[in-house]
Amino acid sequence: MRPSFLQSQPRHAVLYEYSHLLTPKFLQPTGRESLVERWVLHNLNIAAAEINTNLTDRNFMLATTAAYNFWLYELCDVYIVRPIQV
C-alpha cells in the first residue's frame, strides 16, 4: 500500500531541509581533517572505485561485497567502534 500524499510530505520536507549538506562545497575536504578522518576517507575512495569498477562490469556480487566490507570492517569496526587515538 502506498502512503498518501500527506503522509509522504514530512520525508520530503526533511530531505529539502538538509539538502544543503549534499552540495559539492560541503562535501569537499577542508584540509583540517584528522589522521583518522583522512584514513577513513582514503579507504572510502578505494571502496568507491572498486564498487564503480564492479558495477561497470555488472558484477553486483563483488560490488556489494566491497560496500559491505568497507561498512563493516573499516567504518564500523575501526572508525566508529574503536576510534584510534592519535
Residue ranges of domains in the chain: 5-81
Over the stretch 27-50, which tens digit does the pLDDT of each residue have? Answer: 677 788 888 888 888 999 999 999
Q: Which of 79, 83, 82 is nearest to 44 (CA)?
A: 79
* Residue 58 vs residue 78, higher pLDDT: 58
Over the stretch 49-75, which tens digit does the pLDDT of each residue have? Answer: 999 999 999 999 999 999 999 998 888
Q: What pTM was estimated for this model as a whole?
A: 0.62
For residue 82 the three cell numbers come to 574503536
Contact (Cβ atoms closer than 8 angstroms) between residue 35 and residue 86? yes
* Residue 73 vs residue 1, higher pLDDT: 73
Q: How far is CA 19 from CA 3, 10, 15, 25, in A?
A: 22, 14, 6, 12
Q: Which of 33, 32, 46 is nearest to 75 (CA)?
A: 46
| Cα–Cα distance for residue pair 77/85, rounded to 1 Å | 14
For residue 6, pLDDT over 50 is answered with no
